[in-house]
Amino acid sequence: MDVIQHILEIRNKISDLKAKNFRIGFVPTMGALHEGHLSLVRKAKEECNIVVVSIFVNPIQFNKPEDLKNYPRTIDNDLLMLEKENCDLVFTPSEAEMYPKTETLSFDFGALDKVMEGAFRPGHFIGVAIVVKKLFEIIQQDKAYFGEKDFQQLQIIKELVRQLNIPVEIIGCPIIREKDGLAMSSRNALLDPKMRILAPEIYKSLQNAALMERSCTPQILKEIVINEINATGLRVEYFEISNPQTLLPISDWKAITDAIGCIAVQAGKVRLIDNIKL
Ligand code: AMP
């Protein structure tokens, strides 16, 4: 497994591989890897000849400086995990190379980046879109793998690729969970013990909502989930029942066959997100 820090070096490596007609699969990450990330790597290994993983904590997608400062960084362990998965290339660029000047690039994603995470984390998705565009241009992958855990992000990346005609196939991969149902996240390591015990209540409540099989209106279901989770000591930031394509909230089940329930919860100092098909 090669670990490459510089853009020029990875570009050269990739163009050699492409000259040999290898299919390249790309998994962008911010490190602090867990089984969720590894599931994307395994899927990429199945479908491509060469798998590239990037590890870059992207400063411009953080809207709170303390969140960026506290973001877990475990590069040595990450590299061991990737080696075990037979990952081929790891790209670990510096901030200086990724952002030689202050970024002015912007995008218009319509409503996609205004709702949910977009409303609570201003600028977050523009920061994500900028880094993903830059990484796609460097890696020149055939396929790129993203988790459905970040459902809104996945929809925005698909829209980015559509708007810019980037030649890449975007593959969405299912959410990987801990045994108790908590969606795996690099941020879980930051949960204090009390919050770690409460955190599985998020998925329990989402599952209960799915079991109700549309027996009440979306609005009432929203209130049930929010009240249930808030009663545990966690604090719901939002729970929206939305159209999975437009991400706009729905008021009537009849409008669509496959709604998505997306939630953000503050668990002490740590913010967690999750989602479920409804
Ligand atoms: P991150 O390092 O948090 O930026 O995540 C990198 C990629 O891994 C993103 O596409 C995430 O959606 C995906 N990912 C993170 N956690 C999970 C999970 N629990 N299950 C599946 N994919 C995940």
CA pair distance 70, 1, nearest whole angstrom: 28
Mutation probe of ligand 1 site: the residue of 82, 149, 171, 180 with most atoms within 8 A of C-beta: 149
Which fold is adopted by the domain 2-173?
Rossmann fold (3.40.50)
Please state the pTM of the whole predicted model.
Answer: 0.98
Which ranges in the chain are annotated with CATH 3.40.50.620? Answer: 2-173
Q: Which run of H or of E encompasses 277? A: strand 270-277
pLDDT for 255: 81
Give strand pairing partners of 24.
50
Q: How do residues 98-156 score in pLDDT, each as one tens digit?
A: 999 999 999 999 999 999 999 999 999 999 999 999 999 999 999 999 999 999 999 99
Is 37 an annotated catalytic residue?
Answer: yes
Supply 256's token pair. 């669509």
Residue 160: how many other CB atoms lie within 10 Å: 22
Atom 12 in ligand 1: residue holding the nearest Cα: 147
Ranges 42-46, 64-68, 248-252, 254-258: which has the least confidence: 254-258
Ligand 1 pocket, residue 150 CB under 6 Å: yes
Q: Cβ(147) to ligand 1 under 6 A?
A: yes
Percent pLDDT > 70 in the chain is: 100
> Is 176 a pocket residue for ligand 1 (Cβ < 6 Å)?
yes
Q: Is the CB of 30 within 6 Å of ligand 1?
A: yes
Q: In the chain, which segments carry CATH 3.30.1300.10?
A: 186-277
Q: Provide the pLDDT for residue 42.
A: 98
The pLDDT score that the predictor gives to residue 176 is 98
The predicted-structure confidence for 224-246, as pLDDT tens digits, reads as follows: 999 999 999 999 999 999 999 99
Which residues, listed in sequence order, are joined to residue 275 by a DSSP beta bridge? 262
How far is ligand 1, taken at its centre, from the CA of residue 146, in Å? 7
CA atoms in the 13 A half-sphere facing the CB of 85: 29
Quick check: CB of 183 below 6 Å from ligand 1?
yes
How far apart are the CA of 96 and the centre of ligand 1, in A? 24
With respect to CATH, is domain 186-277 assigned 3.30.1300.10? yes
